Amino acid sequence: MEGGEMNMNKKILTLSAITLGAGILFATASNTLAYRGDASVTGPNCTAERHEEMTQAFNNNDYNAWKELMQGKGRVTEVVNEGNFARFAEMHKLQLEGKTDEAGAIRAELGLGLRNGSGKGQGMGYGRNANR
């Protein structure tokens, strides 16, 4: 094999590895970022049983049941507490009813923010607003 062919093979292998890495990163990121506050999108830990338990927690305004189901995961568990859970449950109900503007107002009120970074939870952990 000549030197030119060897360099070409290295370039092809390097380009293939970069493409594969980017594909894996994209697939992982899209699964991780799937939920983002849209009640119509199921999260990675969603099961029929957990969904039913979560629905009961919201319907019964049962903060402790919701908290146990969440197991401290997600930024929402840092924001939602026993004092504001009723508003959070109301936001969830409005989302399911398709009343996204009303739900968005409660989301901002609670400081959960939206995709564009509005609300008290600006930045959502990304970019230059990450540690504000």
Residue 11: pLDDT band with limits 50, 70, 90: confident
Residue-wise pLDDT for 116-128, tens only, equals 444 444 444 444 4
Q: Which of 7-16, 70-79, 105-114 has the lowest mean pLDDT?
A: 7-16
Q: Can you tell me the distance from the alpha carbon of 96 to that of 56, in angstroms, rounded to the nearest whole number?
A: 14
Average of per-residue pLDDT across 36-61: 80
For 51-94, the pLDDT digits (tens) are: 899 999 999 999 999 999 999 888 899 999 999 999 999 999 99
What distance in Å separates the CA atoms of residue 47 and residue 114, rounded to the nearest whole number?
25
pTM of the model: 0.57
9 — pLDDT class (breaks 50, 70, 90): confident
**What's the mean per-residue pLDDT of the chain?**
75
Looking at residue 10, its amino acid is: K
**Model pLDDT, residue 7:** 76
Look at the alpha carbons of 30, 65, 51, 118 in this order and tell me if their dihedral is positive or negative.
negative
